Amino acid sequence: MLRWGMILLFLPSIMLVTLYMIEAQNVARCIQESGSWNYLQGFCDQASQHEFVSYMSRHGFWVNGGMLLSIVGLFMGTWGMVLKGMSQPKDRD
């Protein structure tokens, strides 16, 4: 339970940050080329300006679902540590 709890705690956050950073790189590249990023369509538009739409607004299900999985992982990891108990020191004098 401890291992799965830690996986569920960290994996959704890592996935969300990775996807967000990939999109942020594309936006920065588009702006550097004097374009405007169309957040709803996901492409660089050289002809018109587009408003900023937050990642949470566009991908609310994935963000909320990922954070819910992280909370479940937190409780699973905590419960796994409670069940495992305190570890004994390896070197006893």
Asked if residue 91 belongs to a domain, the reply is no
Average pLDDT, the chain: 90
Q: Going by C-beta distance under 8 Å and a sequence separation of 6 or more, which residues neighbour residue 11?
A: 69, 73
- pLDDT band, residue 14 (cuts 50/70/90): very high
The number of beta carbons lying within 10 Å of the beta carbon of residue 48 is 8
Whether 35 is in a domain gets the answer yes
For the chain, the domain total comes to: 1
How far is 48 from 51, CA to CA, in rounded Å? Answer: 10
For residue 89, name the pLDDT band (cuts at 50, 70, 90): low
pLDDT of residue 83: 87
Predicted local confidence at residue 84, as pLDDT? 83
Determine, yes or no, domain membership for 92: no
Domain that holds residue 11: 2-46+53-83
Give the model confidence (pLDDT) of 2-13 as tens digits: 899 999 999 999
Inside any domain, residue 88: no
Residue 24 lies in a domain: yes
Q: Would residue 36 count as lying in a domain?
A: yes
Q: Is residue 71 part of a domain?
A: yes
What are the tens digits of pLDDT across the range 30-51?
999 999 999 999 899 999 898 9
Q: Is residue 68 part of a domain?
A: yes
